[in-house]
Amino acid sequence: MKNMKLWVLVGIVAISGFSQGMLMPLIAIIFEQDGLSSSINGLHATGIYIGILLISPFMEKPLQKFGFKPTIIFGGLIVIASLALFPVWKSLWFWFILRLLIGIGDNMLHFGTQTWITSFSTTGNRGRNIALYGLFFSFGFAIGPLMTRLLEVHESLPFIISSALSLAAWVTIFFIRNEFPDPDAKSASSLLSSFKRFGQVWKYAWVAFLPPFGYGFLEATLNGNFPVYALRIGIDVKAVSIILPAFALGSIVFQMPLGLLSDRYGRQRVLPVIMLGGFITFILAGILENSGTALFICFFVAGMLVGSTYSLGISYMADLLPRQLLPAGNIMCSVLFSFGSISGPFIGGLTIQYLKGISFFYFISIMLLCIFVGLILFKSKKETEATS
């Protein structure tokens, strides 16, 4: 029964990844072809992550009251309806509102699935289970950008297909039984009590939220800004639809191995190594950006290294926190992911528009270097406390 539950949850996450992987490059290309500026294009891409931030503080109490299943059902329904409404009216503000709603629905869906998985996982298999979660999300995310090719058929077709696939995956949640968070978890009696728990979570596990921040930054920047940047340096849409999924494909290849390695050697050892590797890879991408083949290879290697940072961050968070704080910890992972996702496309859009002649891959590499330093400092602090 537990295995069936895990497969249903990761299947839903795969279709969610597919929708997210499709939506950002698809809308970025549509707006770029319509002549919208890169900064406005990037700002518009933040809608989904603003939605995630808006709903985050209010999710803990409904989860404790209604359980995991209703949370996932309601979130999935919002996503399906929003995707279906994109072809109805092409408007900058209407599409922004739909992105906002998808952010709310996706956050409910992901909060429900990842908290459910972390709650029934043990210390010995947590890395594997969360890696499986990340693997299926990445698999869907890798396929999503390929839908941009359907723009040549009809602009509405990708949205219709994505909505239909989301509906098919959403139905499977009805085949598993509802469960509730740990009964020992502190009740979210008010918004103030939720914020107090967020403070506790931050105190004990702030370092675990750096990787989700970095993944959100990467995901949103690559999917929201790279298509615009690529078109401006002479890479065509067909090449973008091949290069962009390489990052997600790389993460698929190494998601499980990194999860198992982190179970064996510890998240605190694995995370700094992959962050440093990601920094070096994006420096190389900036140097070799005029070659489509070189970019494909760099994206693939970067995906192998840092494409698992969200799932590893969740596992690291679960290592550092007591079980009763896991729901709040999962919310904080989503919040930091959203901050990264909001800041990434906006800063990336400004970089493309105003810092011409400087590769936007360099600003991605600087972000990864900063996270590497944070992980090393936290590790050094823990080692110092252990020996004192």
The H-assigned helical ranges of the chain are: 2-33, 38-44, 47-55, 60-66, 68-85, 92-120, 126-143, 157-171, 191-205, 210-224, 226-232, 237-265, 267-287, 292-306, 309-320, 326-354, 361-387
Query: How would you class 133 by CB atoms within 10 Å of its CB: exposed for 0-12, middle for 13-18, buried for 19 or more?
Result: buried
Confidence at residue 97, expressed as pLDDT on a 0 to 100 scale: 94
- Summarised one tens digit per residue, pLDDT across range 91-133 is 889 999 999 999 899 889 988 898 888 887 776 777 788 888 8
Domain with 35 in it: 2-387
Q: Distance of alpha carbon 223 from its chain centroid, rounded?
A: 11
- Summarised one tens digit per residue, pLDDT across range 148-198 is 888 888 888 999 999 999 999 999 999 989 988 765 554 555 566 667 788
Using 70 as the pLDDT threshold, list the residues of the chain that sit under it: 1-2, 123, 182-194, 379-388
Confidence at residue 386, expressed as pLDDT on a 0 to 100 scale: 47
CATH number of the domain at 111, please.
1.20.1250.20
Are 232 and 286 in contact, with CB atoms under 8 Å apart?
no
Dihedral of the alpha carbons of 59, 62, 66, 71, in degrees to the nearest 10: -30
Confidence at residue 143, expressed as pLDDT on a 0 to 100 scale: 84
Question: How many structural domains are present in the chain?
Answer: 1
Question: What is the secondary structure of 274-327 as a DSSP string?
Answer: HHHHHHHHHHHHHHTTT-HHHHHHHHHHHHHHHTTHHHHHHHHHHHHS-GGGHH
Contacts of residue 16, defined as CB under 8 A and 6 or more positions apart, other chains included, come to: 79, 106, 109, 110, 137, 140, 166, 169
Q: In the numeric block, which tokens belong to residue 84?
A: 């279906």
